[in-house]
Amino acid sequence: MSSGDYLRFLRAVHGGKDFFTIEAETGIPSGVMRQIEQRYRAIGDEDTLRRLAEYYNVPPEEVLWRHRWSRAKLTFALEDAMRQDVPIRLYLRTGHMWEGKVRWVDLGATCLVVDGREIIVQRHWVDKWELLTTEEAAPAQEDMT
């Protein structure tokens, strides 16, 4: 989940105040919140991200590390995995992990083929990812029934 996606999530969890109110309460310049939340690349400097973390009462590191994992970079990784026909491992905000080959990608979701099943993953829940070689992919689980 990019820093923008995470901040959008925090804004919703904290009552969904509008951008103008948050900018006024934090001293962030007008228009910056909208850019951070809506752009596909990393927007905002460290000071701005720290102010927002403080505003939402989360550790600054929780926002800062996500800044390296922009939605644009996720798009490139998913497209690379699909083009190279290699598996990708997606680590989700929920703590779950999915690993499989990319069937398709769009701006809101991606489809992974996992053990022959199609799994749709909402992109805003992806915290981080890694491309795998075919040899690195986890072996298929054997059915114990």
CATH number for the segment(s) 3-68: 1.10.260.40
User: What residue segments make up the domains of the chain, in order of their start?
Assistant: 3-68, 71-131
**Gap between the Cα atoms of 117 and 121, Å rounded:** 13
Q: How far apart are CA 128 and CA 59, in angstroms?
A: 18
Integer CA distances (angstroms), 139 to 1, 56, 90, in order: 27, 41, 16
* pLDDT tens digits for range 2-52: 888 889 889 999 999 999 999 999 999 999 988 888 876 677 889 999 999
Instruction: Provide Rg for the chain, Cα atoms.
Output: 17
The CATH number of 71-131 is: 2.30.30.100
pTM score of the predicted model: 0.72
Distance CA 127, CA 71 (A): 10
Do the bridges between strand 88-92 and strand 97-105 make them parallel or antiparallel, or are there none, so unpaired?
antiparallel
